[in-house]
Amino acid sequence: MTNKELAEFMFPNITKTIADLEKEYPERPEGTIVTRYAPSPTGFMHIGNFYQVVVNYLLAKQSDGVFFLRNEDTDQKREIEGAVEYIMHVLEHYKFIPDECEIKNGETRGNYGPYIQSERKEIYHAFIKHLISEGKAYPCFLTQEEMDSIRESQTRDKRRIGIYGRYAKYRNLPIEEAAERVKNGEPFVIRLKSEGNFNTKFKFEDLAFGTMEMPENDIDTVIMKSSNQLPTYHFAHLVDDHLMRTTHVIRGQEWVSSVPTHYELFKMFGFKMPKYVHTPLILKKDGDKIRKISKRLDPEARMTYYEEKGYPIYSVIEAIMTIANSNYEQWREGHPDAPFTEFEFSPKKMSASGALFDLDKLDNISKNYLSKLKATEVFDLLDTWSKEYDKEFNELINKDKEYTTNILNIEREQKKPRKDYAYMAEVKNYIWYMYDELFTNPEYQFDEKFSKDDINEVLNTYFESYYDENDDKDTWFNKMKDMAEKLGYETNMKEYKEHPEAKKGSIADVSNIIRVGVTSLSQTPDLYIILKLLGKDRIKNRLDMLK
């Protein structure tokens, strides 16, 4: 029996050849950069994955290239329900829309699909069949127990772990015997018959990590699993990225150690390898230490975090960009209003030693960004976020949309706008006191040096005899000054600092009593505007609460 006959015997229904498939998946127009995000639906998206998405998208879009999404679902035991939908949701939310992908209802966008690995079984089998027929792959019948015992002995003897050389027991099994075992239904995997030599090094150029020297692969890597006859990641990567004509593979640095396997696979088929960009680990500061960000320990490692908090998409992308390229921040200073896509991204400027992601920095970016938006834009963000995450608040802000917008407009649309909140979930903390529905049992922060009588005197006099909601700011302030003098408070702050004992308090104390009286807080934005927005009726109710 020949290898070709074995291949035919094992894959009788696979009639397409590699040459046929090459025709079905033609080369893309010369010079097109083709990138792909290729997640396995085995978990929810990590910030590191998002970083890869951003890099994928930028590389493709900055060159009029193609960015596609491929669902790598060959590990079906580990698949998590809803993971694919969530990935698509994130891409849509951040507007990284793939040019090619599976869309809902079984429809496909793009000519290089299916973009879902479990639907490409026959394509992989054509490639595997070819390798078997050339004697470059073989069925392996090692049982789990045998493999465990190989691993134990390798560990004990301090040898490299894996099926290679003398451990590759079925590598040279007579073809007839292999066929016989397959016929008898013995479980098997297909392994690559590696031709590499571990003592020979090859050079590999990674666009982010630079030139690396690595030993050749000599492991008979599994290329097809026994359970579902689907390929392993290594083999699927070769087939898909070759046929889909990927030019740049952007993936996590955990894959660097697999490069020798991929190098050998591409060489075996005589295919050109794509370029590789291995993305660095995302790090975070933890006290004095810097460590890898962890899905288990750090809520911000999951992409769900940013949506739950209601960060604008701009802020999250911007924070990623600052860690993706070291010169991004400098560019941003010179181009404050440009879309991030105008920045000339270069994988060479990615830090290979890890990317430090800092939530404080994200918050700063976000506060800055939000402070420059129009109140109506902030309202829309708040509305969208609260609809999903705080329904009660959503009803409240929509009860009088104009009132809410005016609140959001306090100290906005001016040269130095206020920078209070970084994300929507914290907006309520800054504006709650403007809503009677939330102002039910406030803790008043009056200065303890004033008695209840002092407080009542200021509030009653002010609101009964002075306050007029139609006053302009100067009149408003002059009136307060006037009243302060009459009630025995110092209006000259310099004077007051020198002789604090001479008067009951200062004009600042007067305005603070008013501020606390109507908001309960000793610090708020512009009191003049707050009073104007609250209006007579609300103020009256609040004064009644104090009685």
Give the binding site for ligand GLU (CB under 6 A): 38-40, 72, 233, 237, 249, 251-252, 255
- Run of H or E including 67: strand 66-69
Q: Could you tell me the two tokens for 324?
A: 């993706």
- Least distance from ligand GLU to the Cβ atom of residue 167, Å: 27
* Interacting residues of 328 by C-beta distance below 8 A, sequence separation 6+: 321, 322, 343
- Least distance from ligand GLU to the Cβ atom of residue 46, Å: 10
Nearer to ligand GLU, 192 or 530 (CB): 192
Query: Could you tell me whether strands 101-102 and 108-109 are parallel, antiparallel, or unpaired per DSSP bridges?
Result: antiparallel
Nearer to ligand GLU, 38 or 90 (CB): 38
CA distance 226 to 487: 90
* Interacting residues of 540 by C-beta distance below 8 A, sequence separation 6+: 463
- Least distance from ligand GLU to the Cβ atom of residue 254, Å: 7
Q: Is the peptide bond before 114 cis (omega within 30 degrees of 0)?
A: yes
Nearest to 423 by CA among 303, 306, 304, 299: 306
CA distance 379 to 376: 5
- Least distance from ligand GLU to the Cβ atom of residue 79, Å: 12
CA distance 113 to 212: 33
- Least distance from ligand GLU to the Cβ atom of residue 347, Å: 14
- Least distance from ligand GLU to the Cβ atom of residue 255, Å: 6
- Least distance from ligand GLU to the Cβ atom of residue 106, Å: 22
Nearer to ligand GLU, 248 or 542 (CB): 248
- Least distance from ligand GLU to the Cβ atom of residue 49, Å: 7
Nearer to ligand GLU, 72 or 509 (CB): 72
Q: Which residue is nearest to ligand GLU (CB)?
A: 251
Nearest to 243 by CA among 120, 101, 97: 120
Nearer to ligand GLU, 87 or 132 (CB): 87
DSSP string of 151-218, one letter each residue: HHHHHHTT---SSBGGG-TTTT--HHHHHHHHHTT---EEEE-----TT-EEEEEETTTEEEEEEPP-
CB 479 within 8 A of CB 507: no
Nearer to ligand GLU, 194 or 232 (CB): 232
Nearer to ligand GLU, 228 or 327 (CB): 228
Q: How far is CA 188 from the centre of its chain?
A: 39
Cβ count within 10 A of residue 490: 23
- Least distance from ligand GLU to the Cβ atom of residue 250, Å: 7
In this structure, the dihedral spanned by the alpha carbons of residues 522, 527, 530 and 532, taken in order and rounded to 10 degrees, is 150
Nearer to ligand GLU, 246 or 405 (CB): 246
Nearer to ligand GLU, 164 or 276 (CB): 276
* Surface-to-core class of residue 66, CB atoms within 10 Å of its CB (0-12 exposed, 13-18 middle, 19+ buried): buried
CA distance 323 to 290: 15
CA distance 327 to 329: 6
Residue 245: what are its φ and ψ, rounded to 5°? 60, 40
Residue with tokens 């009056």: 446
- Least distance from ligand GLU to the Cβ atom of residue 165, Å: 28
Nearer to ligand GLU, 81 or 333 (CB): 81
- Least distance from ligand GLU to the Cβ atom of residue 283, Å: 19
C-alpha count within 13 angstroms, C-beta hemisphere, residue 380: 5
Nearer to ligand GLU, 245 or 479 (CB): 245
Q: Could you tell me the two tokens for 226?
A: 């026994």
Tell me 364's DSSP state.
H
